[in-house]
Amino acid sequence: MGHFSRVPKQLIEFQQARPLTQDPAVLEYSALMVQALIPQLQALMGSIADFDRKIAEVFQKHPDRPVFESFPGAGAALAPRLSAAFGADRDRFQAATEMEQFSGIAPVTEKSGTKKWVHWRWALSEICAPKLSGICRAFAPLVWLGQSVLPTPNPAWQKSPRRG
């Protein structure tokens, strides 16, 4: 059963729900707070639209735009973000693994005795974290899209009969 099949049930539950409070002081305060936040959000949305327009304008002139737009799922938001993460210096990264390590998305391999395991990096160093958090966010959607768009390899364990 998918996520959207629960929507009608949730709407009925919302209609039947009891309010958390009916205290007039809390309700009036909440209404005033929403009214105070609306103009701030409207101004912020205008600024975001200005940034979006400028990013699109600059990205249209970028020489590597076709490369970044060719990635699966890289549209108007993700392609410029990836371009910014890579930067303009083409000699900066000699291999894909260098960019993975720099951005913090490279898997970490650990070994102990005869065991070996691979996992995601749990944290970034305090020095790198403020600089790289945006780069990590640039790659996260591409990793997720790659898993959902690209063909998945069929490992041998899926082909073999199940063992009890």
Could you give the CA distance from residue 26 to residue 127 in angstroms, rounded to a whole number? 43
Which residues have CB under 8 Å from 78's CB, separation 6+? 71, 138, 141, 142, 145
The answer to whether the beta carbons of residues 105 and 139 sit under 8 Å apart is yes
- Note down pLDDT in tens along the chain; length 164 residues: 555 566 788 888 888 888 889 999 999 999 999 999 999 999 999 999 999 999 999 999 999 899 889 887 788 888 898 888 888 787 888 888 887 777 777 788 899 999 998 887 776 655 455 555 566 666 666 555 554 544 444 444 445 455 44
Quote the pLDDT of residue 163: 46
Quote the pLDDT of residue 28: 95
Could you give the CA distance from residue 126 to residue 109 in angstroms, rounded to a whole number? 21
The answer to whether the beta carbons of residues 75 and 129 sit under 8 Å apart is no
DSSP string, 13-52: HHHHPPPS---HHHHHHHHHHHHHHHHHHHHHHHHHHHHH
What are the extents of the domains in the chain? 9-61, 64-149
